[in-house]
Structure 1
Amino acid sequence: MEPTLKQFRAFVAVAESGQFTRAAERLGLSQSAVSTLISQLEQNLGLRLFDRHTRLLRLTQAGAEALAVARQAVGDLDRLVENARDLNNFSRGRVSIAAGTLQAALMLPRLIRSFRDRYPNIDVTMHDVSERAVVDMVKSGQVDLGLGTVPDRDSEVLGLELTTDSFLVVMPPEHPLAQRRGLRWKDLEAETLIGPQRGNPIRERLRAELARVQVNLTLHRSFQDVSLPLTIIGMVEAGLGIAVMTSAVNPLAKSMGLVTVMPVEPIITRKISLIQRADHSLSPACRLFRDFLHRSTQSSLRNGFRRTGSGQ
């Protein structure tokens, strides 16, 4: 039979205490149980570990060599148990999350701060990347979680919905469309549009939804491959066109003196979710962070709804 950790633990206790009686007290076992464990270990190893005298135990040369290995095995197990306890008690841990630029700048920082105030020993690392890079980083294992849109029919990832983004148009306040009521997507067909580059989930979602109602918006050829939302906003502010973005940009647009209008026919939205690999279990710290973000965003949505309802 193979030696067991229970046998190794008894061996270390007897070697360090020099007596079966003291080792038994240390382990919370009977003296006979400890003696049996040592005999079993010697039989399993095919070695004599102790020279037994009337009142004294002495390690043999083989026993002294085996003791170092046994101590390491027992120590490794104790550290494993301690680490598991720490992780499950959230006394330490690491979490990494990737998010598109707007969510990374305007949504996540306050949530991460609230989480770290509660769990200061858990380190959270945030990566601000392009929207289309979020899912790739989750799939490759570069990050534990992603914040963005789950691709349709992608079985490699799972999503936990946090909130919903609405598609809108960003423009200067003096633009003729800024004051138009009931702005339709079709009204934008003749406009110079600036938007995210090809392959961006926002652009793909917009294209698919507009195709259903036979609306064809062509992004301005000179600017169709813009990758950063801040660049798009800057171009709108400079008068180079108007931009199709999502409601996550509202705080940034307002801070730069721009207005946002949500077109109808149809109203287009997308789900913002926490994304994780379907075949990968999250660590206790990651699960805690995921659940914290979900509770926090749902609470904010409920409070926002109550404030809106009470003001009507």
Structure 2
Amino acid sequence: MSSSGLPDLTSRQLETVLALAEYGSFIAAAALLKTSQPAVTRTVKHVEEVLGLKLFDRSTRSVQITAAGKEFVGVAARMLNDLKITIRSMRELSDQRRGQIIISSIMSVANGRLPGLVSAYRLDHPGIELHVRDGVHGAVMEDVRSGAADFGITYLDDLPDPFMSVPLGKEEFTVVLPRHHELAKKKSLALSDLKGAPLVSLPSDSRTRRVIDSAASSIGLTLNHVVTVSQFATMLGFVRAGIGLAIAPKSGVASFLGKELSAVPVRGRPLARDLGVITLREREPSPAAAGLMSLLRSSWNKP
């Protein structure tokens, strides 16, 4: 224990605990960390002694993380993420030509608008390394909250207080269906046109699905979700196979349509959501991240 009363633990020791928690094997953790199995064993034992808690239950056949271990791993991961972001930010202050940006984005943006904007950014900043984490709205918020991402691109409705946002534009919805389908000839479709039609959809807890179901419920319609998937590419694969239709964000499916699929706009009650960049109020973005966010704001609605 240090004079400040804080546990005297290094980032390497925290990384060792995280590796063992992830892989559940001393051998695998040692391989990941490029060290020996006895070294991993000693490190984990030292951390447990410093904390006065048992983080793992060990047997001859398995390693199981304890309840205390799960709680410690969550805190340790956030600490290491914040440390990495701080170190990266300091380096970028001394040399803005190099650095790393981690973006967390909802899938429709990651599949649609984002690649072109990232390409434009890299033309002027070839030394900046970019990582894109794509997922659902809740995952984007957690990435930003935990420090796993520099900023997020997601929906701006119902954001909790720790976040601040900058609007980018609206995301509109479309019905995706096989090109030979009878509804593909329509110039637009109302949700009521889809009554009874089999749908391939995202999970019921996704923000996209909730918005669609809410719009249908407002007109007394219950949609017929027959297949649930977690990715847009998978969704359109099932539509292409003729299993059902899909209601999806226009920008998220445009690049997947090809010759076999058509997209028809949804009319009537507007299915549209406000999109924007989210950050934490107390976390200052790195110069590189701030530069990319500025490009997103200025270029989002340009062709």
Normalising TM by the smaller chain, what interval?
Answer: 0.5 to 0.7
Aligned counterpart, 1:101: 107
Q: Is the contact between residue 106 and residue 153 of structure 2 (CA under 8 Å) also seen in structure 1?
A: yes
Q: Does 1:178 align with 2:184?
A: yes
Q: What CA distance in whole angstroms lies between the structure 1 residues aligned with 2:215 and 2:159?
A: 17
Q: Is the contact between residue 136 and residue 207 of structure 2 (CA under 8 Å) also seen in structure 1?
A: no
Aligned counterpart, 1:251: 254
Length, aligned pairs only: 215
Aligned counterpart, 2:267: 264
Aligned counterpart, 2:223: 217
Q: What CA distance in whole angstroms lies between the structure 2 residues aligned with 1:162 and 1:100?
A: 14
Map Cα deviations across residues 190-211 of structure 1 (whole Å, 9 max, x no partner). 1001111021111112223333
Q: Is the contact between residue 135 and residue 150 of structure 1 (CA under 8 Å) also seen in structure 2?
A: no
Change (3 A) 1:104 1:153: closer
The one-letter code matched in structure 2 to 1:210 is A
Aligned counterpart, 2:239: 236
Aligned counterpart, 2:285: 282
Q: What CA distance in whole angstroms lies between the structure 2 residues aligned with 1:260 and 1:241?
A: 13
Q: Does 1:168 align with 2:174?
A: yes
Q: What CA distance in whole angstroms lies between the structure 2 residues aligned with 1:247 and 1:105?
A: 10
Q: What CA distance in whole angstroms lies between the structure 2 residues aligned with 1:236 and 1:243?
A: 7
Aligned counterpart, 1:29: none
Q: What CA distance in whole angstroms lies between the structure 1 residues aligned with 2:255 and 2:263?
A: 11
Q: Is the contact between residue 187 and residue 264 of structure 2 (CA under 8 Å) also seen in structure 1?
A: no
Shift of 1:180: 3.0
Q: What CA distance in whole angstroms lies between the structure 1 residues aligned with 2:232 and 2:188?
A: 25
Map Cα deviations across residues 221-280 of structure 1 (whole Å, 9 max, x no partner). xx13x1011110000000001111110134234325201111222121112211212332
Q: What CA distance in whole angstroms lies between the structure 1 residues aligned with 2:93 and 2:125?
A: 12
Q: What CA distance in whole angstroms lies between the structure 1 residues aligned with 2:187 and 2:220?
A: 21
Shift of 1:139: 1.3
Change (3 A) 1:290 1:181: closer
| Structure 2 residues not aligned, in runs of 5+ | 1-88
The one-letter code matched in structure 1 to 2:121 is F
Aligned counterpart, 2:230: 227
SS of 2:282 mapped into structure 1: coil
Q: Is the contact between residue 157 and residue 276 of structure 1 (CA under 8 Å) also seen in structure 2?
A: yes
SS of 1:255 mapped into structure 2: coil
SS of 2:185 mapped into structure 1: coil
Aligned counterpart, 1:31: none
Q: What CA distance in whole angstroms lies between the structure 1 residues aligned with 2:105 and 2:159?
A: 21
SS of 1:178 mapped into structure 2: helix
Q: What CA distance in whole angstroms lies between the structure 2 residues aligned with 1:273 and 1:92?
A: 26
Q: Is the contact between residue 193 and residue 243 of structure 1 (CA under 8 Å) also seen in structure 2?
A: yes
The one-letter code matched in structure 2 to 1:139 is R
| Structure 1 residues not aligned, in runs of 5+ | 1-82, 305-312
Shift of 1:296: 1.7
Q: What CA distance in whole angstroms lies between the structure 1 residues aligned with 2:223 and 2:161?
A: 31
| Runs of 4+ more than 6 Å apart | none
Map Cα deviations across residues 164-207 of structure 1 (whole Å, 9 max, x no partner). 22111100122121123552101212100111102111111222
Aligned counterpart, 1:87: 93
The one-letter code matched in structure 2 to 1:212 is S
The structure that has the greater radius of gyration is 1
Map Cα deviations across residues 22-68 of structure 1 (whole Å, 9 max, x no partner). xxxxxxxxxxxxxxxxxxxxxxxxxxxxxxxxxxxxxxxxxxxxxxx
Q: Is the contact between residue 170 and residue 244 of structure 1 (CA under 8 Å) also seen in structure 2?
A: yes
Q: What CA distance in whole angstroms lies between the structure 2 residues aligned with 1:252 and 1:85?
A: 37
Q: Does 1:296 align with 2:302?
A: no
The one-letter code matched in structure 2 to 1:163 is G
The one-letter code matched in structure 2 to 1:270 is R
Q: What CA distance in whole angstroms lies between the structure 1 residues aligned with 2:188 and 2:291?
A: 43
